Structure 1
Amino acid sequence: MTDTFGVVLPAGGAGRRMGGDVPKQFRLLGGAPVLVQTLRAFARHPALGAAVVVVPAGEEAAAGARLREHGAAAAVVAGGPTRQASVANGVAALPADVNLVLVHDAVRPFVSADVVSRVVAAARAGGAAAAAVPVADTLRQGGAGPLFGETVPRDGLWAMQTPQGARRDWLVRAHANAGRSVATDEVGLLQGAGYPVRIVEGDARNLKLTRPSDWALAEALWPAWMRDEG
C-alpha cells in the first residue's frame, strides 16, 4: 500500500449542539447517514487503501450494521476517553502496510477529492500536512460585559479543517510523546512532538456540521455537491 493512504474517522460525538435524538454523524443527509456520506467521499478517491471508523466502546456492532446497510466499507473499532485516544486506536487498527494516515472529522461530508489529494501529496513530500482556510472575517476580542474589545490582526491566521495527515510513524510517535497532554487536533499533536506540518489550502464548503444552521446549509448544498463530486 505504499502509494495509498489510510483514513481514520473519529465518530464518537454526541452532537449536543446540533440537537435532536440522533447523533449528528448518523442523521440522514441525501438519504444516508452523514458518516456514510463522509466515507463515500473517501471511497471515491482512487488512492484510498483502508478506512477505520472509531465509535464509543460498546457501539461497534450497531455502527457496523449501519455502515453495511448503506454499502459503506470500513473497519469499526472502539474509541477511548478522548478524541486523541480514539484516533490512536484508529491508527493502530489500520493494516500494517499503511504508512500514510489521514484523520478526518466524521461530520465533514463535503470534503473534495482535490483537497484530499493535495493533503496526501503535501504529507508525502514533507511528512505531515493539514487543510485550512485563511481567516477572512475581522476578529475582535470580547471586552467588558457586552462590549467588543481589541481587534485581532488576521494576517497569517488560518481556520483549521480536516483532513490532517502524516506519516504513520510520526503519528504513532506523536501520540506516545503526548502522554497526558491533550491537543485539539493532529496538527497540535504533531507540533508538540517537534514535527513540522505543511499548510494545504482547504475549501470553504468543507464545513463541519455542528449547529442547526450548519444542517440547513448542508441540505441546501447537497444536490449541487453531488452533481460536482458524486
Structure 2
Amino acid sequence: MNFAIIVAGGTGSRMGSDMPKQFMLLDGLPVMMHAIQAFHRSTSSPQIIVVIHPALRDDWSALCLSHAFSVPHAVVSGGKTRFESVKNGLNAIKSTGADLAHCIIAVHDAARPLVPSTLIDNTFRQALRSGTAAPAMTSTNSVRITNGNGLENHAFPRSRVYLMQTPQVFNGAILCDAYEQDDDNSFTDDASVVEKKGYPITLVDGDTHNIKITFPEDLRIAEAFLGNCT
C-alpha cells in the first residue's frame, strides 16, 4: 500500500506575506493543490495525507470549497517542527492498521508544486527495491566549504555535492523506525532522519522543475515553468 504525506505545517514567513506560501495562487490554484494533484495523477496512486498547521485547517477547507477541489485526501494537524509534523502524518498511517513493512511512504514538501508524476513514480519504484529513495540534483555552481567559525574556507568538488529534493520515499517500517528517534537540529529532511538511524540512502535523479517555493521570485519562476509546459 502506498501513502504520501504532504507537509504544509509552516506559515511561510520568508515570503513576506500574511498568506502562507502553500496557499498562494499558482496558475489559478493554491500551490499545495498542484502538489496533491501530481501525486493523484501518478501511477503509484498513494493515499494522500496533508499535514497542516492547526490554525490553518479551516482556511484549507475554505480553499477546497472555493476551488471545488475534490482530490481525496486526509488532513492532519502539524506539530511545532517539521519532524513533529511528519511524525503526526505517520501516526495517521499507523491508525489505519496498515502493515508498515509492506507500505511505501513518500514525504513531500507542499511548497514543491511542480513535482513531475514521473519523478514520484521513480522514487516509489526505487524505495520498493532498496527501502529508501531520495531525489537529488548535482550542483552546477562552484562550491566552497567553511570551517566551524566561518573564518576559513576551501574549494570542494561540486560533482560530489547533491542538492536534495522531495518526495523522499521509504519502506514504511524503515521510516517509522527512524522517526522513533528524538528530534535533532541535524535533521534537515527525512533522508537525514533515516540515515541517522543507520539506513543507507539511495539517490535518484531529481528534476530541475521541482523547485521549492520559498521566496516571492520562486513563485514567478514556477509560473514561467508552467508557461513553458503549455
TM-score (norm 1): 0.88
User: What residue in structure 1 maps to residue 73 of structure 2?
Assistant: 74
Aligned residue-pair number: 220
User: What residue in structure 2 maps to residue 47 of structure 1?
Assistant: 44
User: What residue in structure 2 maps to residue 174 of structure 1?
Assistant: 178
> What are structure 2's unaligned runs of at least 5 residues?
none
Q: Is the 8 A contact 1:32 1:70 kept in 2?
A: no
> What are structure 1's unaligned runs of at least 5 residues?
none
Deviations 1:184-220 (A, max 9, x none): 1110000111111100011011000111221111111
Which of 102, 106, 114 is matched with 2:106 structurally? 102
Partner Cα separation in structure 2 for residue 211 and residue 105 of structure 1: 15
Partner Cα separation in structure 2 for residue 191 and residue 224 of structure 1: 37
Higher mean displacement: 68-77 or 209-218: 68-77
1:11 alignment partner AA: A
Identity fraction in percent: 34
User: What residue in structure 1 maps to residue 34 of structure 2?
Assistant: 37
1:136 alignment partner AA: T
TM-score (norm 2): 0.88
Change (3 A) 1:142 1:156: closer
User: What residue in structure 2 maps to residue 120 of structure 1?
Assistant: 124
Q: Is the 8 A contact 1:11 1:53 kept in 2?
A: yes
Q: Is the 8 A contact 1:54 1:78 kept in 2?
A: yes
Mapping for residues 1-230 of structure 1, pairs under 5 Å: 1=1, 5-68=2-65, 69-94=68-93, 95-97=96-98, 99-141=103-145, 149-176=153-180, 178-182=181-185, 183-225=187-229, 227=230
Higher mean displacement: 27-36 or 47-56: 47-56
Change (3 A) 1:180 1:203: closer
